[in-house]
């Protein structure tokens, strides 16, 4: 007797849609670098207090997407909405002003400067004194604020005057995260922050990100390692060749399910 062949029709898993309260929402983002089509019309969003894990192969377009969201690059076409309003993210300053903070492993800090100075780069408090037209930085205020912020991130045994080059990769991430907390960022973007970190440091960074969630801060966390982001992510977005190929709530999937979807 002929065996009946069961065809397993794989239903295409629908992408999660943004709510009306989405913190950030992109529609049809396209990015061309010369003849390279780095983003081919990507819809993406993050809700307040949501941790979105962004995964995908080398060259998938992850960094391009977050560079656009952090104002470092501009899209060729497509629209971006932040807290419901359409925005033109023409520079990192514009994005930071809106409350979008981005952390890269090596470029976020000036190693030769102190923790306190690094916390306030580009946003230094002024003392009220001036030399000609130049305001003078309020060093005391920076150290005081840095000390307070550092207690939030377990860096209490370090002086705020310590230079960042004396810190480990994980501790640098911690300073960057303290900075995001201090400036009350609304969206924190981390592009492969745990590359080159020890397991212990990686877990610390993951803990910090989870603690930001409790304060309502949304995070977009890029990683090659699904196992790193799976425990803390609320939702996983996967990209391939400049397009979004999966957008699922963690509660609707498993690591195995995701791996199958992505590969």
Ligand X SMILES: Nc1ncnc2c1ncn2[C@@H]1O[C@H](COP(=O)(O)OP(=O)(O)OP(=O)(O)O)[C@@H](O)[C@H]1O
Give the binding range for ligand X (CB under 6 A) out of 62-70, 93-101, 115-123, 203-211. Answer: 62-70
CA dihedral (142, 143, 144, 150) positive or negative: positive
Give the one entry of ligand X, Mg ion, none that residue 38 binds, where binding means its C-beta sits below a cut-off of 5 to 8 angstroms depending on kind: ligand X
Q: Which of 190, 249, 186, 251 is nearest to 225 (CA)?
A: 190
Q: Which residue sits closest to Mg ion, CB atoms considered?
A: 63
Q: Which is nearer to Mg ion, 32 or 81 (CB)?
A: 32
Q: Contact with ligand X (CB under 6 A): which of 16, 23, 38, 246?
A: 38
* Cβ(52)–Cβ(6) below 8 Å: no
The yes or no reply on residue 56 touching ligand X (CB under 6 A) is yes
Q: Packing angle between helix 169-182 and helix 199-214, nearest 10 degrees?
A: 10
Give the one entry of ligand X, Mg ion, none that residue 61 binds, where binding means its C-beta sits below a cut-off of 5 to 8 angstroms depending on kind: ligand X
Q: How far is CA 224 from CA 171, 185, 195, in A?
A: 21, 25, 9
Give the one entry of Mg ion, ligand X, none that residue 33 binds, where binding means its C-beta sits below a cut-off of 5 to 8 angstroms depending on kind: ligand X
Give the binding range for ligand X (CB under 6 A) out of 8-16, 30-38, 156-164, 167-175. Answer: 30-38
The secondary structure of 75-107, three-state, reads CCEEEEEECCEEECCCCHHHHHHHCEEEEECCC
Give the binding range for Mg ion (CB under 5 A) out of 21-29, 60-68, 208-216, 250-258. Answer: 60-68
Q: Contact with Mg ion (CB under 5 A): which of 63, 147, 162, 211?
A: 63
Q: Which is nearer to ligand X, 54 or 205 (CB)?
A: 54
The yes or no reply on residue 195 touching Mg ion (CB under 5 A) is no
The yes or no reply on residue 193 touching ligand X (CB under 6 A) is no
Based on the number of CB atoms within 10 Å of its own CB, is 37 exposed (0-12), middle (13-18) or buried (19 or more)? middle
Bridge partners of 103? Answer: 190
Contacting residues toward ligand X, per CB under 6 A: 33, 36, 38, 56, 58-64
């Amino acid at each position: 007797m002929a065996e009946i062949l069961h065809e397993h029709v794989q239903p295409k898993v629908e992408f999660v849609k943004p709510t009306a309260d989405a913190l950030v929402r992109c529609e049809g983002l396209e990015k061309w670098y010369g003849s390279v089509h780095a983003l081919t019309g990507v819809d993406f969003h993050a809700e307040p207090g949501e941790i979105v894990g962004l995964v995908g192969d080398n060259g998938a377009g992850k960094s391009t997407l977050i560079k656009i969201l952090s104002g470092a690059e501009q899209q060729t076409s497509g629209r971006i909405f932040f807290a419901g309003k359409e925005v033109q993210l023409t520079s990192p300053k514009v994005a930071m002003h809106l409350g979008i903070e981005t952390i890269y492993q090596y470029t976020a800090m000036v190693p030769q400067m102190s923790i306190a100075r690094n916390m306030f780069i580009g946003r230094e408090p002024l003392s009220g004194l001036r030399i000609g037209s130049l305001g003078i930085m309020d060093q005391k205020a920076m150290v005081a604020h840095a000390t307070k912020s550092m207690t939030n991130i377990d860096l209490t045994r370090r002086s705020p005057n310590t230079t960042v080059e004396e810190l480990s990769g994980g501790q640098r991430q911690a300073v960057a995260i303290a900075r995001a907390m201090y400036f009350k960022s609304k969206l924190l973007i981390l592009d492969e922050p745990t590359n080159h970190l020890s397991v212990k440091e990686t877990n610390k960074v993951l803990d910090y990100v989870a603690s930001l969630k409790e304060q309502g801060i949304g995070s977009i966390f890029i990683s090659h390692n699904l196992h790193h982001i799976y425990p803390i992510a609320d939702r996983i977005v996967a990209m391939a060749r400049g397009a979004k190929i999966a957008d699922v709530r963690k509660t609707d999937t498993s690591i195995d399910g995701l791996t199958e979807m992505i590969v």
